[in-house]
A = this chain, B = another copy of it.
Amino acid sequence: MHAYVKQLVKMCLPSIFIVTLLTLSIPAVHGGKVLVFPQDGSHWVNMKVIIEALHSRGHSVSVVRPSASWYIKETSPHYSSITIDIPGGADEEFFRSFVSRLIQIKREGNSAWTRFSLDMELKNGFFEIHRKVCEMVIKMLENKQLMQSIRETKYDLVLTDPLNGGGVVLAHYLNVPLVFNVRWTIAGEGHFVIAPSPLSYVPIPAAELTDKMSFFQRVRNILVYVIRQYLYRQTVGPHYSALVSRYFGPEVDYFSLFQAADLWLMRVDFVFEFPRPTMPNVIYMGGFQCKPAKPLPQELEEFVQSSGVQGIIIMSLGTLIGQLPHDIADEIAAAFAQLPQKVIWRYKGERPATLGNNTLLVDWMPQNDLLGHPKTRLFVAHGGTNGIFEAIYHGVPIVGLPLVFDQPDNLSRMKVKGVAKVVDLATLDRNIFSQALQEVLNEPSYRTNMQRLSRLHRDVPMEPLDTALFWIEFVMRHKGAAHLRTESYRIPWYSSHSVDVMVFLLTVVLLILLITVALIRCLYFRMCSRQKIKHE
C-alpha cells in the first residue's frame, strides 16, 4: 500500500491578479533515489530548487560534481556528493572576463573581426566545458569501485541538465530512466531536439525573431538553423560521440540517446516563449523557482517605504557581470538620480560619481522579495531566464540591458509582448537610459501587459514545481515513461521526414510516365510504319 501525503497545501493569494488556488496531494514515493548530473554555474541555482524539494519529500539525492566546482558545494543537508577529481575549474573566471571584454568591445565599436574572435573565444570556452565533462565521465566510468557502489545504490533515475551531456551517457551506462531539467541542450533549445519545429512560425533561438515572420525572415530562420545544426554536430558532438563510441560501440548515435530521455521537464512557459508544437513527454515547469515574496529585512523595508507613492526601481545584471565600466555606471547612476522613485541597485565596484541620494547600492538583494513588493514599479535586468520568470510571476515590467547567451532573445520576446524596453549597452547614455525608464514607468500598458502575463502564468492546475515533482515521482513509480515517448528518435532522419517514401513515390510516378511515353511512341511508330506499308 502506498502512504499518501496527508497535508494539503492551500495557498490563498488574495490579489485580484492571482486567480489560481491550488491544493495538491501527490502520492509520495518514499525513499526514491535520484542521481543528479548537474550543469555548473547559474544553471545549478535551478537544479538546487528541485533537489531541495525532492529531499523534503523524502528522497535521497546524490550529486556528481567536479572537485573544482564553481557553484556546487561538496556538503549540503539536501544531498550527498560524488566528487570527481578534475583539474582546472576556471569557468567562472573565464566567463566573467569574457563578459567584461564583451562590454568593452561593444562600447568601443563593433569591428566584425573583434566580434568574430570573441565568438570563437566563447566557442572555445564551451568546448573546454564539454571536454571537462567528458573527462569527468570517463574518470567515473573507469573507477570500478565507484561504479560498483553506484550500481548497488540502485538509483531510480538520473536527473540532469542536458546543457552538458554527461548525465545522458551515465544514465545509458547504468540503464536507468533519464529525466531532463532543461531549457538548453548541447544542441540548442530543447524543443528543437525533441519536437517538430516548423521554421515557418517557430523562430530559432538568438535570432530575435517572432512567430510572425516575413518571407525573408523565414529564409534567415531556415539558413541560420541549418548552419547552426551543422556547427553543433561538428563542434560539440565529437566530444560526446567519442565517449559514446568508447563505451557503447560506434553504432550508437549520441543524439538519439539524448532524444530517448523519458521526460523533459522544461523551464518554459508560453507566456514567455512563442507557442509551438510540443511532445507528450515534455512537461512545462517554467517559473518553478518563483514564490510569493517574503517580508524584507527591516532596513530595506524602511528604504522601500520611504519612496512613498512613487515606488521603487530595482536593478540587477546577474552574477556573471563583475564590474561595470566606470563610464556606463556613471551614466546609469545619473539617469537614476533624475527620477522621483527610489532605486535599489545590486552593484559591485567603485561608487559612481553621479550617484543620486535616491539610489541604494547593495552587494546582494532578496530579488524575489523585492519584485513581489507592492511598491516595486520596474525591474532593470540583463534578461536571464530566471529573472524574467520572477518578473512575470510578480507582474513587474522590465528595462533590459542584455549582454550575452540567451539574454537578447529573452528580452526581445518580452519586448514583443509589450512588457519590456530594451537598451543596448553599446550606445547607452544617461538620456537614452532615462527615456527608457520614463517610458516604462509612465506608459501604463507595460504594467497592465505584464500583469496580464502574470495572471496567465499563475493560473495553472498545479504549481510548476509540484508538476515537476509529480512527474519525477511518476518515473520512479513506473520505472520510466516510455508510453509518452514517440518513436521519432529510433528512425533515421530521411525516414523521419519521409524523404525515402517521397523519393520512392516520385520514382514510381516517373517510371509510369516513362513507360506511358514509351508505349505511346511505340504505338505511334507502329501506326506510322503500317501506313508506310499501306502507302508502299
Residues of A within 8 A of B (CB): 1-2, 4-5, 8, 10, 12, 14, 16, 19-27, 195-196, 198-201, 211-212, 215, 218-219, 222-223, 270-271, 274-281, 455-456, 459, 461-462, 466-467, 470, 474, 477-478, 483-488, 490-491, 495-498, 500-501, 504-505
Contact = CB atoms under 8 A, between A and B. Distances in A.
Contacts of A505: 219, 222-223
A198 B488 contact: yes
B270 A484 contact: yes
9 tightest A-B CB contacts, nearest first: A196-B196, A201-B487, A23-B25, A211-B487, A275-B486, A275-B280, A461-B470, A21-B27, A461-B462
Contacts of A24: 23, 461
Contacts of A201: 486-488, 491, 496
A198 B498 CA distance: 8
A505 B196 CA distance: 21
Given A201-B487, A277-B196, A486-B275, A478 B455 contact: yes
B280 A279 contact: no
Residue from A23, A281, A478, A504 whose CB has the most chain B CB atoms within 10 Å: A23
B279 A484 contact: no
A504 to B, nearest CB: 6
Contacts of A8: 8, 10, 23
Given A278-B278, A488-B198, A25 B21 contact: yes
Contact of A218 (B222, B279, B467, B495): B495
Nearest to A496: B200
Kindly name the residue among A5, A24, A277, A459 whose own CB sees the greatest number of chain B CB atoms within 10 A. A277
Given A21-B26, A277-B277, A456-B478, 11 more contacts: A8-B8, A196-B277, A200-B498, A211-B486, A215-B501, A219-B504, A219-B505, A270-B483, A459-B477, A461-B461, A461-B470
A25 B2 contact: no
Contact of A500 (B4, B215, B274, B474): B215
A203 B20 CA distance: 38
B275 A483 contact: yes
B483 A456 contact: yes
Nearest to A10: B25
A19 B27 contact: yes
A20 B27 contact: yes
A219 B484 CA distance: 25
Contacts of A484: 270, 275
Nearest to A282: B278
A2 B26 contact: no
A464 B25 CA distance: 16
Residue among A5, A27, A275, A455 having the largest count of chain B Cβ atoms under 10 Å: A275
A452 B20 CA distance: 33
Contacts of A212: 487, 490
A2 B23 contact: no
A12 B4 contact: yes
A463 to B, nearest CB: 10
A388 to B, nearest CB: 15
Nearest to A25: B23
A278 B279 contact: yes
8 contacts: A5-B21, A8-B8, A8-B23, A19-B27, A200-B501, A218-B500, A275-B281, A275-B484
B275 A199 contact: no
Contacts of A459: 474, 477-478
Contact of A200 (B19, B22, B462, B497): B497
A496 B491 CA distance: 24
| Residue from A218, A461, A505 whose CB has the most chain B CB atoms within 10 Å | A461
